[in-house]
Amino acid sequence: MRKKSVLRGVLLSVIASTFLLADGDVIKLEDVTVSANKIEEKAKDVPQSITVLDEETLEEKRITQIEDVAKEIPNMSFQHSANGSESMSFRGLNTSTFAFNNPVVIYVDGVPYYDRYDYNPSLLNVRQMEVLRGPQGTLYGKDAIGGVINIITKEPTNEWHGSIGTEYGNYTFSQSTFNTSGALIDDKLFAGVNGTLKFDDGWITNDYPGMNNDANREKDQRLSGFLLLKPTDRFSGKLTFSHDHLKDYFMDAMAIDSTVALNDLRREDNEHVSFDVPQFRERTTDAQSLRLNYDFDFATLESITTHKDFSLNVQDDADYKSGTSMDGLKSLIVSDVKTWTEELRLSSKDQTVRWVTGLYLDDEERDQGPYGNARFLTSVANVESEINTQTAAAFAQAVVPLYDTLELTLGGRYQHVSRDIDSDYYNSFIGGTSLHHYADKKTWNTFLPKAALSYKFNDALMTYVSVSKGYIPGGFNFYSNSDGSDSSFEPETSVNYEVGIKYTGDDYSLNASLFRMNIEDLQVYKMVGYITVVDNAKKAHSQGVELDGKYLLTDHIELSAALGLIEAEYDDYTNANVHYDGQRIENTPRFTSNLGLAYIATRGWYGRADLQGRGTTGFIRNSKVETTDGGLTANARLGYKFKDWDLYGFMTNITDEAYIVTYGRGVGFNDPRRFGVGVKYTF
């Protein structure tokens, strides 16, 4: 009863604020321009599922990391794994552990983020976020088999503008931000800089003597900036840089007890832990990009060059507890990844047939090690490896009007991937010592087609049907039990069919889609004895429905909702003589949903309340897919804007709902109730 009364009170407070005197422009639904197909067009005219989050929505919902974005998207979920990686699950597709790819690739002004350890770019200074659902391999590199999150930052003006903000909350949470941009030379040279500093003591206490009590504390430092040169009306060049240093000290997880059913585990049992090895995850990313544009009369030529250097240093207590035979045993992951990409593309301007074509090159060098376990002076299991990957692709896509109301989209990408490994595996745990050397090289060539047909009934209503191929290349497992053994796994492919309808009227919008995905050689993560490997499930499928929309109840009140329902199952998968045919693909919630009510005002009182739901989820455990309960969480924000100031309070997970979100080396839970206050000054 207490949870229901708290939630009811929050919703009533937001609704009641609509009766208070407020100023500001009335809200209205507008045609949103997106660059989903790498040419500018209206979101309502693009024949695929798209969710667009603008600057105001990101701020009102306090969307500050990719995990928050996932909660807004139908059939998308986010997991923090116990070894420090971050992974996305979407439409039954999961992260490929040793191919490193997430099924949904993030782009920030052209810089790709896909690695499971480097998957949380800064969301400060964002103008618009476009979440493209379904395979995007035709136009986007980095093997976007599930989708793309395309993040576009704000463009500067001649006048200098910016903001400074700070937040404080429970668990000694604090976050400070700054952002400014403007012209150094009017109309010719612009610059901008922004940054974030975040501290959090976390909600888990380590009771082991001599250890820091704040087990899952964290601190983040982010800095980014740009220079934009526009010497002529036709030519522009933009140089951007970013530096992110993130360090946390424990995953929000508890040690696994395989004798206890997952649904019998409680988050409160995880609020106190006792681990004897200091734990930390330190991630540093330095990224730069150079974007050059030249406008011809008939087309735009664009070059995007990116460089990224990512380093990772992880140390864990191997069993997340003390008083066992594994005391003193560390789990270590150290790696450095250097990536260069180049994309050169030409896109049409003001032509009846809208088209884009280009070339893409990618070079990645990954040095990894130590990767394994170690106990001081006694035993070690370690892998030292070098993995190099080169990608080359040519792509093209065209949107061809067949009649005034009918359009055909055709596209294709030919891609060549070459990957090699040089690895040494050392083990002194079992029966003495052993050293295995593994070196191999493989190449994969593929063609990724896409076709869509869209029909516009009128300016507000359109429908479409599409088919596209998704792809993640194969790779190599780090561990090899014998010299010269083949430790590779096959590429994962999918064929996605989608039918959708979009309506955008004066006071409401609605998008609906049905999808079916046939998957072959699904890359799965499993244990083989003491070794973790990636293997292929021969066949799987996922199918479902996705709905999202908005309704303007009044000039200031907006109702928004989204729902994703999915059936995702293994069709042909055997592991250790256990057949998983017909069982659910793990890490895939049966449904995701969100419902929001917002009172929007540019001055005076404003507020919003949001409900976010997650259905039952399966995890492979004890030779079966074990199902865990989902949960329903509520969030709220209430604030007051005057002059250039914004004062507000916020609360997330108001009812303190608890549910399992990840299972692997540990069992992870969602965050408990959070609350705090904030202030922002805009100039």
Beta-bridge partners for 235:
294
Residue 15, pLDDT > 80, answer: no
* pLDDT tens column, 421-467: 998 888 776 556 778 888 999 999 999 999 999 999 999 999 999 99
* pLDDT tens column, 391-415: 999 999 999 999 889 999 999 999 9
Q: How confident is the model at residue 29 (pLDDT cuts 50, 70, 90)?
A: low
Pairing of strands 218-229, 205-206: unpaired
* DSSP symbols for 139-187: T-SS--SSEEEEEEEPPP-SS-EEEEEEEEETTTEEEEEEEEEEEEETT
Can you tell me the distance from the alpha carbon of 661 to that of 672, in angstroms, rounded to the nearest whole number?
Answer: 13
Residue type, 225: G
- What confidence score (pLDDT) does residue 485 get? 65
Residue 622, pLDDT > 90, answer: no
CB-count burial class (<10 Å; 0-12, 13-18, 19+) for 4: exposed
Can you tell me the distance from the alpha carbon of 426 to that of 385, in angstroms, rounded to the nearest whole number?
Answer: 11
For residue 610, which of 627, 593, 623 has the smallest C-alpha distance? 593
214 DSSP assignment: B
Query: Domain 2-52+164-170+214-682 maps to which CATH number in 3.30.429.10, 2.50.20.10, 3.30.43.10, 2.40.170.20?
Result: 2.40.170.20
For residue 612, which of 558, 564, 666, 665 has the smallest C-alpha distance? 564
Strands of 589-673, DSSP E: 591-599, 603-614, 617-621, 624-628, 631-642, 645-652, 660-663, 667-669
* pLDDT tens column, 39-63: 888 888 889 999 999 988 998 899 9
* DSSP symbols for 390-416: EEEEEEEEEEEESSSSEEEEEEEEEEE
For tokens 């869209």, what's the residue?
Answer: 454
* pLDDT tens column, 328-340: 888 888 999 999 9
- What confidence score (pLDDT) does residue 377 get? 60
For residue 561, which of 600, 601, 513, 612 has the smallest C-alpha distance? 612
Can you tell me the distance from the alpha carbon of 331 to that of 379, in angstroms, rounded to the nearest whole number?
Answer: 12
For tokens 């449904």, what's the residue?
Answer: 591
Q: Supply 155's token pair.
A: 């463009």
Helix (H, G, I), strand (E, B) or coil at 307: strand
Can you tell me the distance from the alpha carbon of 518 to that of 38, in angstroms, rounded to the nearest whole number?
Answer: 27
* Report field, pTM of the whole predicted structure over 0.85: yes
Q: How confident is the model at residue 3 (pLDDT cuts 50, 70, 90)?
A: very low
Can you tell me the distance from the alpha carbon of 408 to that of 280, in angstroms, rounded to the nearest whole number?
Answer: 51
* pLDDT tens column, 64-97: 889 999 999 999 998 877 666 778 899 999 887 6
Q: Supply 407's token pair.
A: 């359009």
- Whether 18 and 554 have beta carbons less than 8 Å apart is answered as yes
* pLDDT tens column, 598-619: 999 989 999 999 999 999 999 9
- What confidence score (pLDDT) does residue 348 get? 94
- Whether 451 and 466 have beta carbons less than 8 Å apart is answered as yes
Q: Supply 262's token pair.
A: 């997952």
- How many CB atoms neighbour CB 624 within 10 A? 12
Could you tell me how far CA 276 lies from the centroid of its own chain? 32
Q: How confident is the model at residue 630 (pLDDT cuts 50, 70, 90)?
A: very high
3-state secondary structure string across 77-128: EEEECCCCCEEEEECCECCCCCCCEEEEEEEECCEEEEECCCCCCCCCCEEE
Beta-bridge partners for 275:
none
Can you tell me the distance from the alpha carbon of 145 to that of 151, in angstroms, rounded to the nearest whole number?
Answer: 18
Strands of 296-433, DSSP E: 299-317, 329-348, 354-375, 379-401, 406-427
* pLDDT tens column, 175-215: 999 999 999 999 999 999 999 999 999 999 999 999 999 99
Q: Average pLDDT, stretch 663-675?
A: 88
Q: Compute, in degrees rounded to 10, the torsion defined by CA atoms 114, 117, 119, 120.
A: -160
CB-count burial class (<10 Å; 0-12, 13-18, 19+) for 243: middle
Q: How far is CA 175 from CA 120, 164, 200, 203, 220, in A?
A: 16, 11, 9, 17, 9
Sign (positive or negative) of CA dihedral 259, 263, 269, 273: positive
* DSSP symbols for 529-565: TTEEEEEEEEEEEEEEEEEEEEEESSSSEEEEEEEEE
